[in-house]
Amino acid sequence: MQIAEKAKKIIQNISKVIVGKEAQIELVITSLFAGGHVLLEDVPGTGKTMLSKALAKSIDCSFKRIQFTPDLLPSDLTGIYYFNMKTQEFEFRPGPIFTNILLADEINRATPRTQSSLLECMEERQVTIDGITHKLEDPFFVIATQNPIEIQGTYPLPEAQLDRFLIKLSLGYTNKEETIQMLTRFREKKSSR
């Protein structure tokens, strides 16, 4: 199957849950196929998480979501080596970064140190913990979000870190007709259960 045909099928599948955002979905798929990552800058309630989950299901990949907060540590993303008392050895416990589709929710709420640990993984597709390098799954695709309105308590991404994203876009709210279509679709689905 040609790439254009695959992309069209993925867009159609995602459009079953995300209404009226075909152009944005196409840009996300383009970034995925190009090996890039996406920064969604938008207000809450526009379907960013739903888009990420729908993409993962559409391409049959693993999905994880990390809520970025000021107390999030780099090891909370990447994982740690811990001492197993039973085996008397250090064992690796992978963090949520070991997935195919990662939603980095409100990336600008984490400290620059934690942001940079994610951005390193995005660039190199690997993570080094205690001197041991672990390859990330293929594909490894990050959809990071940030709220452009609420800036209190955030750590804006500097230009050098914004460079890690191939595309920056906004979904925006649906219009009246799209909202009605979406509500009707979900009501019909709920009543058919």
Extract the tokens encoding 95. Answer: 């963090």
- Residue 125 burial class via C-beta count within 10 angstroms: exposed 0-12, middle 13-18, buried 19 and up: middle
Supply the CATH number for residue 154's domain. 3.40.50.300
Average pLDDT over residues 160-166: 88
80 strand-pairing partners: 93
Domain count, the chain: 1
Could you give the CA distance from residue 156 to residue 158 in angstroms, rounded to a whole number?
Answer: 6
Structural domain for 156, as ranges: 3-191
The pTM assigned to this predicted structure is 0.87
Rounded to a whole number of angstroms, the distance between the first and last alpha carbons of the chain is 34
Helix ranges, the chain (H): 3-14, 22-34, 48-58, 74-78, 112-124, 159-162, 176-191
* pLDDT confidence tier of residue 16, bands split at 50, 70 and 90: confident
Could you give the CA distance from residue 104 to residue 77 in angstroms, rounded to a whole number?
Answer: 10
What's the pLDDT tens digit per position in 34-91?
A: 999 999 998 887 889 999 999 999 999 999 999 999 999 999 999 999 999 999 999 9
